[in-house]
Amino acid sequence: MDDIDAWVWWLIAAVGLGIPLVVTAMPEFGMLAVGAVAAAGTAGLGGDVVLQVLVFAAVSVALIGVVRPIAARHRAQRPQLATGVDALRGKQALVLERVDGAGGRIKLAGEVWSARSLDAGQAYEVGQEVDVVEIEGATAIVM
């Protein structure tokens, strides 16, 4: 009867640790909950209280020590989504009116933009494809 009570208490602890995981989005609570489930399994297999606590601590610490750094690396490596004018850098555009150091017009991302060439001595004729290097205000700098 004591064994059943012990594993039930560990499962209640796992659920109790799962609630803050959902509310706070702190993954450490989930790792502690997995440790509590492991301790419940130990209790269900007849392990004494000391062994249950040791299993809980070992599984929890191992998960926090191994999973947390891996998750932090993945979070740091997530590609940043470029938006607005930042998303236009590196795109190709079609020259609509001759573009040189003084100005011109291009079609970029379905819209007509004023543009000028990066190299003031370089000119691009109607129909040429150009690469957008930078956006300065409402003017695309192309090459």
Average pLDDT, the chain: 89
pLDDT digits (tens, 9 = 90+) for 42-101: 999 999 999 999 999 999 999 999 988 888 888 777 667 777 778 888 899 999 999 998
Residue 116: what pLDDT?
94
Cβ-contact 8, 1 below 8 angstroms: no
If you average pLDDT over residues 113-123, what whole number do you get? Answer: 91
Residue 137: what pLDDT?
87
**Cα gap 52→55, rounded to integer Å:** 5
Higher local confidence (pLDDT), 22 or 51: 51
